[in-house]
Amino acid sequence: MTGTEAPEALAVLDRDGLDALVAALVADGRTVVGPTVRDGAIVLAELASAAELPYGWGVELDAGRYRLVRREDGAAFAHSAGPQSWKSYLHPARERLWSADRTPEGDLSFTADEPEAPSYAFLGVRPCDLRAIAIQDGVLTGGRHTDGGYGKRRKRALLIAAECTEPGATCFCVSTGGGPAADAGYDLALTEVVDEGGHRFLVRVGSEEGARLLEQVPHRAADMVTDASARAAVDAARDRMGRALPPVDLRTLLGASLAAERWDDVASRCLTCGNCTMVCPTCFCTTTEEVTDLTGDHTERWQRWDSCFDLDFSYLHEGPVRSSGRARYRQWLTHKLSTWHDQFGTSGCVGCGRCIAWCPAGIDITEEVAALHAELETEKETER
Amino acid sequence: MNAPTLAVFKLASCDGCQLTLLDCEDELLALAGRVDITHFLEASSAVAPGPYDLTLVEGSVTTTEDAERVRAIRAASRHLVTIGACATAGGIQALRNFADVDEYRRTVYAHPEYISTLATSTPVSAHVDVDFELRGCPIDRRQLLEVITAFLAGRKPDVPNHSVCFECKRRGTVCVTVAHGAPCLGPVTHAGCGALCPAYGRGCFGCFGPSGSVNLPALIPLLRNGGASRSDSGKGGGGKRAGGLDEAAVERLLHTFNAAAFDKIDKEART
């Protein structure tokens, strides 16, 4: 993928065109990953064809609740806050980093694990997730110590965005500075339109690779009606966010709330199960484990997802630093919204709403932040 | 140097956990090449006396004889690892801890006078020092190999004590509570099984016992309500909702293989 100033061309694909697009990607040897229905949810999975997209399925969301619902319009991209994010592919849950063997002479020989990265094509990346990928790019490849595996997978990945026309009840991207429109970081951006004019996708080109791909599939030039409908649907989505973070400086708020009583309240409801961090598209923490085999002559180092909710995550000589649920939830939220700025220059939250929907206990990040804000305001009032 | 000796003993249990050792089909030969299995009645009646370098103990202590025997086993073992829900938490037989054992005895046996038993079923760690507790009903084959391998290498076993949710998310299983309202003990249960039950669409029933970080008071309302959604649950109603469990069913869910362990945590949370 190239920079953000790639020429913007507008085209329209119909459903056959989308079929052809996926077929072209598959023929190109790419691993196409996109949304599909499995186990009562719209999950991300490898797609063999566009027919596997969740045509006619939507979702009903609430804190701690996700239900598939049928849609009359047959739309493929009218859903949000699925149970996984793209990090499952770019930053997988388990990855072998290297192995070592004892040679017959008794020395150790080390072998770095450098498998050829798959050539992914992600189909249906939400604008919130485009931002999340950009944040993980910064975290995992932007500093002095880069994650080589992530870098290779990311470099080869083609991103086809699907703008958001159907935000869910747990969505709040607008209040994190984002929005339902894809503005950067994609090769192609689709906007789904279903009306009397038919079921079609307005396509914007974001890179040369995207332009080349579009040339391979039957499409037509964008007409004004499709263009206007697409823009109107995305604009309307902006005003239909189910939730919002309070419009205050969150970095300062969290920094000033370290001793808040609200942390005890949320800790009483928090299961410390780690689900929020696993579904978060920006949470990147991993741990490494050395695994030996029975012979004792072979060892492997594996990297795997970890979480600040895991007691082992802060385990230092003889005990975890953050043993209470309060300390762990506070660490997560404070890092996500405040110290992330200090560390990486941005917020760590894109407002995708996954942590709200997939928290079994239904803890709502926007509600917690609002409560912290209210507590701080009350405190200020009392001081006056 | 002689190979380290491995012994396997059983107390009150079903044998399923020690059979996991025989179930290590692909690795069994390699294991037999690394250790000298000197006491394993499930595999061979030829047994050798201790001391043993590594001893695996299955089962809970339910008789005075076993309470004495486990002390002798400990004395003969350099490293003692308990395996399974019985040995680590008292097992399903610890249900007697919440009941009148004499009544059980009269109900179950035609001649209760022949039965000599303790009033409680307790984990091995309640009687002797234990070097490591491997959870599960039954234990997981890969984890057993990991514990033995770690012992051979003199390192800490890679057996995380976080929740089953970690395993569900790592393998990409859709949360059965959030997506289906299914009662699931995953958020409070020790990982290790690889999130087996949710992968087949059913809730976790806690056979690995409590995780290292349990908040039961936060989980119980979810079991009762069939999930968390506040939009259609009466606040403080106490009644059950579609997909939810009534009080007795919640108690039953927590009172299985690790009843005593969950009960201990429940009591701690209430005080």
pLDDT in tens, B180-231: 999 999 999 999 999 999 999 999 999 999 999 999 999 999 999 988 865 4
Give the pLDDT confidence score for residue B10 in this predicted structure.
97
| Residue B159 resides in a domain | no
Instruction: List the domain range (segments joined by +) for residue B184.
Output: 164-270
Distance CA A120, CA A155 (A): 10
Cite the beta strand spans of A227-270 per DSSP E: none
One domain for residues B142 and B168: no
Angle among Cα B174, B178, B182 to the nearest 5 degrees reads: 90
Q: Looking at the structure, do residues B138 and B10 belong to the same domain, yes or no?
A: yes
Say yes or no to pLDDT of A358 above 80: yes
Tell me: do B176 and B144 sit in the same domain: no
In a domain, B158, yes or no: no
Domain end, chosen from B118, B153, B188, is at B153
Q: Are B137 and B252 found together in one domain?
A: no
The confidence score (pLDDT) of residue B271 equals 78
Cα B226 from chain centroid (whole Å): 25
Beta-sheet strands, E only, within chain A: 10-14, 31-38, 41-46, 57-62, 65-70, 94-102, 108-112, 120-125, 158-162, 188-195, 198-205, 220-221, 286-292, 298-305, 315-316, 319-320
Using CB atoms within 10 Å of the CB of residue B63, give its burial: 0 to 12 exposed, 13 to 18 middle, 19+ buried. Answer: middle
Are B169 and B120 within one domain? no
Interface of B with A in 211-270 (CB under 8 A): 212-213, 215, 217-219, 222, 227-231
What is the pTM (predicted TM-score) of this model? 0.94
In this prediction, residue A9 carries a pLDDT of 64
pLDDT tens profile B89-143: 999 999 999 999 999 999 999 999 999 999 999 999 999 999 999 999 999 999 9
Q: Do B122 and B21 belong together in one domain?
A: yes
The span from the CA of A48 to the CA of B262, in Å, is: 45
Q: What are phi and psi of B41, to 5 degrees?
A: -60, -25
pLDDT per position as a tens digit, A160-197: 999 999 999 999 999 999 999 999 999 999 999 999 99
Q: Which residues contact B263 (CB under 8 A, 6 or more apart)?
A: B97, B98, B254, B255
- Distance of CA B207 to CAs B51, B150, B261, Å? 32, 23, 11
User: pLDDT band for position B232 (50/70/90)?
Assistant: very low
Q: Which of A43, A65, A317 to mutate to test the interface with B (most CBs of B within 10 A)?
A: A65
- B160/A307 touch (CB, cutoff 8 Å), yes or no: no
Residue A290 pLDDT exceeds 80: yes
| Average pLDDT of chain A to the nearest whole number | 95
Alpha-carbon distance B66 to nearest alpha carbon in chain A (angstroms): 32
Residue B263 lies in a domain: yes
Decide: A338 and A251 in contact? Cβ < 8 Å: yes
B235: confidence class by pLDDT, cuts 50, 70, 90? very low
Q: Looking at the predicted complex, does its ipTM rise above 0.90?
A: yes
**Number of structural domains found in chain B:** 2
**Res A1: pLDDT:** 42
- Count of helix runs (H) and strand runs (E) in chain B: 12, 5
End-to-end Cα, chain B, rounded Å: 53
pLDDT for res B229: 64
pLDDT of A73-129, one tens digit each?
A: 999 999 999 999 999 999 999 999 999 999 999 899 999 998 888 999 999 999 999
Query: Residue A134: pLDDT above 50?
Result: yes
Q: What is the mean pLDDT of residues A197-214?
A: 96
- Give the end of a domain, one of B153, B185, B202: B153
Same domain, B43 and B147: yes
Which amino acid would we find at residue A250? L
Q: Select from A65, A84, A309 the Cβ nearest to the Cβ of B178.
A: A65
Residue B206 in any domain: the answer is yes
Are B128 and B197 in a shared domain?
no
Residue A214 has pLDDT above 50, yes or no: yes
Give the angle A369-A374-A376 at the CA atoms, nearest 5°: 95
pLDDT band at B1 (very low <50, low <70, confident <90, very high): low
Cβ-nearest to A274 among B162, B178, B184: B162
Of A64, A84, A278, the CB nearest to B166: A278
Residue A182, number of CB atoms within 10 A of its CB? 27
- B191 and B256, same domain (yes or no): yes
Q: Please check the confidence at residue A31 and state whether its pLDDT lies above 90.
A: yes
As a whole-number percent, the residues of chain A with pLDDT over 90 amount to 92
Q: What's B63's domain CATH number?
A: 3.40.50.700
- Residue B241's pLDDT band, with cuts at 50, 70 and 90, is low
**Amino acid at site B122:** T
